[in-house]
Chains A and B, each alone.
Chain A
Amino acid sequence: MSSSTTAATTCGPIPARAGIGLRFPHHRVVAETRPDVAWLEVHTENYLGGGATPAWLDAIRRDYPISCHGVGLSLGTAEGLDRDHLARIGRAVEHFAPALVSEHLSWSVAGGQYLADLLPLPLTDEALAVVCRNVDEAQEFLRRRILIENPSSYLRYRHSTIPEWEFLTAVAARTGCGILCDVNNIYVSAQNHGWDASTYLAALPPASIGEIHLAGHAIRRLDDGTVLRIDDHGSRVVPAVWTLYAEALDRFGPVPTLIEWDTDIPPLATLLDEAHAAQALLDRYRGRAGHADAA
């Protein structure tokens, strides 16, 4: 990060409009062409060091509201948060002063080892207590409310007792955190586990929804013929997820909505095109009563 003496001014709030995930291949084109998009989100862990990378974000954040989306805090870890990592996140948040900070309902750290994926939690009372304790600690340390994103998953545990939508709702109720509703993840998990996606959406508290994520996923046919949907963020949003997104807007009102794309990253124009599609749906719901403000 640029030297700690740089005082950060908070960028503007995230509007209830469509934004895109900012990835390294697009740093230069975004900084130089200032494309017409309402806001940008970065993966916090990519901006924890110094040098040219945070310098790009320093330049870009002057013109766009920024959201910092973490992938490494491991809020579901039984052994507690990695304080060093939390401190680094804290310094980045202080420096970039993002309008939103978010993380995942998942875990990645056990025995001091970082498993570089968002692993699913057993949905038990014990895990709920662990997640709430860790979210409390993160919010207290960062001195701000964070949003927690529902995961996509490819397995369920034998001893889970709580539906995921109830678990996430309980985390929000107990800790005061907001919910980052990833509509693609709901669709992927619902397809993989035989859940009803509309039931999931209907169970979430509209007042807690601070952001929506949209992304593409892959369909993988395994050797035995089983079909799994894999949340690879490597393609356009599929029609069924657009339909579910419209349902989410019906329920939550206009919410800041992000297009994520992380593998086989396309030209910026493709991301902007997807963002425009999301914006068109947002415009249809603009002005309806009962929508949640951005965190």
Chain B
Amino acid sequence: MPTLRELQRDIAHGLIARGGAAAAHVIADGLAPAARLAIYRNTVIASLTTALRLSYPAVHRLVGAAFFDSAAHLFLAARPPRGACLDDYDPGFAEFLAGFAPAATIPYLAGVARLDWAVNRTLHAPDADRLDPVRLAAVAAANEPHLRLMPHPSVGLVHAEHPVDAIWRAVVAQDDRAMAAIDLDERPVFLLVRRTADGPAIARLAPAAWRFTASLCAGQFLQDAIATAGEIDAASLLASYLIDGVFTDFAVEHDSGRQTMEIRP
């Protein structure tokens, strides 16, 4: 008699990887145990495929349902979700598509997938209060060199070799004429994706502005990011980000990074 833990490992292996040990634990009663398990497998695969389709709607429309489902089935067998909140499933699908040989004929697919995921985060990431510029000004006025900003959880930065923002909009709107008009050889795009009251906002940034923004979002010290920002107007950009709620908080680090002191109002 298997322990509960053994049984659950066998069933999980049977449902995800089609391992055969699970059937031995199941009563036939007029129907093969494998057929009974297949009912559950079909539900699990359908649920996870649907979760991926909801997270990657533009990819789904670009490749069609049959292609999407087969890619999703391979992905979910290799990387089933680690938790029960399927809005979080799964940022790795974009990376999977980048290395998925049958998708190689669509060179912009992985970029569209990364944008899909960034948009998904604007829809579902936790809410957080925006950083009050007055609080920041009080610390920044002291020329604090060890100040880092914390981005809102819904903010995403996407860099792609193709104009994936235009492709994404055309595909989501099912606008074939707009799709046909896109110049795929256009220069790379540098995108900032964030939540607004009207839904996801996808904005193109100049490369230097995007790199500055990415440095801040990655937790680089504010002074260092500004110092290396080059010719862009970092102060104006930062002001607009504060107005738009791109950052939620800041932290000041002392003792060469060994201690972090968070400042709260």
List the interface of chain A (C-beta within 8 A of B): 1-5, 45, 48-54, 71-74, 76-79, 82, 84-85, 88, 107-117, 119, 121-122, 124, 126-127, 130, 154-159, 193-194, 222, 224, 226, 228, 230
Contact = CB atoms under 8 A, between A and B. Distances in A.
B236 interface: no
Given A50-B153, A116-B44, A117-B43, A226 B85 contact: no
A79 B153 CA distance: 30
Chain B: interface size category: 35 or more
B128 A3 contact: yes
Contact of A155 (B4, B37, B154): B37
Contacts, number: 147
7 contacts: A50-B125, A72-B84, A85-B83, A85-B84, A111-B9, A115-B15, A155-B36
A111 B12 contact: yes
A73 B84 contact: yes
Contacts of A45: 84-86
| Secondary structure class of chain B's binding surface, majority of residues | helix
Q: Which of B44, B48, B51, B84 has the most CB of A within 10 A?
A: B84
Given A51-B195, A155-B33, A115 B127 contact: no
Contact of A122 (B4, B15, B44): B4
Contact of A124 (B4, B12, B51, B129): B4
Interface of B: 1-5, 7-9, 11-12, 15-16, 24-27, 29-31, 33, 35-37, 39-40, 43-44, 47-48, 51, 80-87, 122-129, 153-154, 195, 199
A127 B127 contact: no
List 10 tightest A-B contacts by C-beta distance, closest first: A72-B84, A50-B127, A116-B47, A49-B124, A110-B8, A155-B36, A110-B12, A78-B5, A78-B4, A114-B81
B84 A154 contact: no
Contacts of B128: 3, 50
